[in-house]
Amino acid sequence: MDFRIADTFTDSLARLTGDEQKSVKTTAFDLQVNPANPGLSFHKLDDARDQNFWSVRASGDIRLIVHRSSESLLLCYVDHHDRAYGWAERRKLETHPRTGAALMGDLEELERALEYPWESGRSFSTRPSVSGWSAISRGRRGCAARPGRGKRIWPRAWSFGRSP
Residues 6 and 85 in one domain: yes
Identify the domain boundary among 89, 120, 138.
Answer: 89
DSSP 145: B
Residues 106 and 68 in one domain: no
Q: What range does the domain containing 140 cover?
A: 92-148
Residues 122 and 50 in one domain: no
pLDDT for the residue numbered 80: 97
Number of domains in the chain: 2
Residue 17 belongs to some domain of the structure = yes
CA pair distance 19, 130, nearest whole angstrom: 28
* Cα within 13 Å of Cα(77), Cβ side: 24
pLDDT for the residue numbered 143: 38
Residues 124 and 139 in one domain: yes
Residues 10 and 82 in one domain: yes
Residues 99 and 36 in one domain: no
Residues 93/103, Cβ–Cβ less than 8 Å: yes
pLDDT in tens, the chain (164 residues): 889 999 899 999 999 999 999 999 999 999 999 998 888 889 999 988 889 999 999 999 999 999 998 888 999 999 999 999 999 998 888 877 788 777 776 766 656 666 655 445 555 443 333 344 444 433 333 333 344 444 333 333 333 343 44
